[in-house]
Amino acid sequence: MKALPKTRSSQTASLPKAPESRGPASPCRVALVGFGTVGRSVAKILCASPEGPLRLTQICNRNVERKKQPWVPKDVLWTEDFHAVLDSAADIVVELIGGLHPAGDLVRDALKAGKSVVTANKQLIARDGPDLLQLARACSCRLEFGASVAGGVPVLPALRTGLCGDRLHGISGILNGTCNYILSRIESARIPFSEALEEAQARGYAEADASEDLDGGDARAKLAILALAGLQTRVAPETIRARTIRGVDALDFDYAAELGCTIRQISRADLKHDILFAEVGPSLVPAASPFGRVQRNLNLVVTSGLYAGDMAFLGPGAGGDPTAVAVVSDLMFVAESLSAGVRSHWPQQFLEPKISCDFETPWYLRFLVRDRPGIIARLAEILSDHELNIDAVLQKPGFAKAALPFVITLEPCRDSQLHPALEKMAALDFCIKPCLCLPILP
């Protein structure tokens, strides 16, 4: 659903009065905007419990006549006009159309109309979440987005309630099921990257153009939301470095196995004073670690706190039903808050740290060269010039000298220290292409 009537965001509107607390016997009226895969699942859950605390009153979608379903109660109003939703008695608007436009204006108009909002829109929350939360507070409304990261995995509600007593300083995760499926298939079947991608597309795990997944755009938007919710920081997704998984091949899993590791797309954020170290990209992780054991299209989020230590959340990161469960859970939380007259739990201001990708870790460097004497010596000379220490050199037999792969692992060093050396090595005449450089995480 992309085209809806013009919204009112550009019009002058005074902020509404705080809504009255609802009695426990009065169900919250819910208007659903977007009736795609997730929207249908949300409607089914709501319609299956007509006596519960939530009552579906409206469904808004384009081409609405073709969307109507016999299992939806007859008193539910179907409409193509979002203004009808704004003018209705709905207490909560569920936005499930996705994207920035017109979704952003719809959410703003709903909040200005005094209606709380539940959304699964990761791009909108990653970009405008702090401003929308402040608008919701000003309008005495609630804005919840638990389904915007990791689908049915309740990590955002846990950050909102179960972990709010801790002081979190780090969040890391496998946040993109498409990448995890591809990498775990290369690992298990030792197939080329291209074949694993085609398989993911055939199974519906990857779009025809999977660039947003493969190149890290999807995961860094989710990481920005996790940093907002868990670390209370304002982070523009584009300020987080994203590295592609396209260069990873079956051979890298062979070398990783020799190091007791495997390879996953890892998103990580670590808040230290006024600097947020953050990045998304393929990394070596211990094969026996929680990240190393996650297979296929599952998601995993690990939070690190000052008092409670590490907490892990595992589950399906996509799909209509798991995401719908997260949406309905947010609806129930908002309904309970409105009934009790509870104000927003979000802070009035968010931290705005400097964003850096200058992590200090060991590194995995996989080269592809035209073999000749002196290659290791020349690479070692460059690494030494940049004060980088070699930990190990790995080379498997049986490869043609015209395209010979081998691996150098480095002792811990900072990203900023390593990359000038990588640029110099990439220009060497025996290098067929720049080396694959992956951090080795503990």
- Active-site positions read 222
Please provide residue 175's backbone torsions phi and psi, each rounded to the nearest 5 degrees. -110, -5
Closest CA to 216 of 357, 104, 347: 357
Query: Quick one: angle between helices 320-340 and 37-47, nearest 10?
Result: 50
DSSP string, 379-402: HHHHHHHTT--EEEEE--SS--GG
Pick the closest to residue 120 from 321, 291, 286, 257 (CA basis). 321
Are 89 and 113 contacting, i.e. CB atoms less than 8 angstroms apart? no
The pair of structure tokens assigned to 67 is 């969307």
Looking at the chain, the number of H-run helices and the number of E-run strands are: 15, 17
Phi, psi torsion values for 71, nearest 5 degrees:
-85, -10
3-state secondary structure (DSSP) of residue 316:
strand
Task: In whole angstroms, give the CA distance from residue 210 to residue 267.
Answer: 18
Dist. CA 294–CA 334, nearest whole Å: 32
Closest by CA position to 186, among listed 84, 78, 282, 92: 282
Q: Is 302 helix (H, G, I), strand (E, B) or coil?
A: strand
- In three-state form (DSSP H/G/I as H, E/B as E, the rest C), the secondary structure along 95-149 is ECCCCCCCHHHHHHHHHHCCCEEEECCHHHHHHHHHHHHHHHHHCCCCEECHHHC
Give dist(CA 136, CA 121) in Å, integer. 16
